[in-house]
Structure 1
């Protein structure tokens, strides 16, 4: 997959160190990042984290995508990580305040393309915080809950369900 990719009215590329300030602004927004793991408001630590991530990216162990609007203004990020023989996880999904909900759907479609082409349709496993009602409603339409703890529901989506999800989402955007 050759990046950047212009798809669904967005531009997708891999995160770089120069994105640290944007990512930090998203991840330290108390409202929009409330369902993500906490991030310390320290720009140098964010840069250091990205440097370590880039080493994992080189080994194709993880991919952290930034997506931008048609004016090339960053609007969000999402990560693919914990890539195993038959599974991967997506997460760290966050969109800039004020963006419409279709941005999330478009970035999800990009991830479906990425999984199909780069990860050979491995099964996706991920978690959603129990109090993230909007995300839970969305993921329950296509994914299966495999477990839970006090904080999260754990989901999986296989190749057939991912294809059904992709077809549905492309029909509404």
Structure 2
């Protein structure tokens, strides 16, 4: 897959150090980042984190994507990490306040395409915070709950579930 990648009216590319301020603004927004792991409001720490991430990206251990609208204005980010022989995790997904809900659908479809072409249809495992009711309703339609703890439900979605999800999502955008 070549970047930048244009699909669904969005532009997807790999995160760079220059994106640190945008990412930090998303991850420190108390409302929109409430379901993510906490992030220190420290620009240098964010830059340092991206530098370390780029080393993992080079080894194809992790991918962190920024997506922008057609005017090339950044609107969100999402990661693929914990890449193993047969699984990967997606997460750290967050969208700029004020964006329409279809952006989340479009970024999910992009991740599915990326996983299919670059990770060869590996099974996706991920977690959703128990109080993130909207995301839970969505994921329970296609993925299987494999466990839980005090904070999260843990899910897996196989190739068939991903196909059903992608067909459904493609039909509504």
User: Same fold by TM-score, threshold 0.5 exceeded?
Assistant: yes
1:126 corresponds in structure 2 to 126
Counterpart mapping for 1:134-149 below 5 A: 134-149=134-149
Instruction: Show structure 1 runs of 5+ residues with no match.
Output: none
Displacement of 1:49: 0.0
Kindly state the Cα deviation for residue 45 of structure 1 after the two structures are TM-superposed.
Answer: 0.2
* Structure 1 partner of 2:95: 95
Please state if 1:164 is matched with 2:128. Answer: no
CA distance in 2, matches of 1:9, 1:141: 25
Report the Cα distance in structure 1 between the residues aligned to 2:168 and 2:124, rounded to whole angstroms.
18
Distance 1:30 1:172 in 2: 30
Q: How far 1:19 moved relative to its partner?
A: 0.1
TM-score (norm 1): 1.00
Secondary structure of the residue aligned to 2:57 is: helix
Identify the residue that residue 81 of structure 1 maps to in structure 2. Answer: 81
Residues 15-35 of structure 1: per-residue CA shift (max 9 Å, x gap): 000000000000000000000
Q: How many correspondences in the alignment? A: 173
Q: SS of the residue aligned with 1:109?
A: helix
1:112-158, CA deviations, whole angstroms, 9 ceiling, x for partnerless residues? 00010000000000000000001101101110000000000000000
CA separation in 2, counterparts of 1:141 and 1:10?
25
Partner Cα separation in structure 2 for residue 169 and residue 14 of structure 1: 23
CA distance in 2, matches of 1:141, 1:101: 17
CA distance in structure 2 between the aligned counterparts of 1:159 and 1:115, rounded to whole angstroms: 10
Once the 2 structures are TM-superposed, how far is the Cα of residue 61 of structure 1 from its aligned partner?
0.1
Q: Give the gaps of 5 or more residues in structure 2.
A: none
Q: Normalising by the residue count of structure 2, what TM-score does the alignment of the two structures yield?
A: 1.00
**Paired residue for 2:48?**
48
Q: Runs ≥4 in structure 1, deviation > 6 angstroms? A: none
Q: What does residue 29 of structure 2 align with?
A: 29
Structure 1: how far apart are the matches of 2:171 and 2:86? Answer: 28
Deviations 1:10-69 (A, max 9, x none): 000000000000000000000000000000000000000000000000000000000000
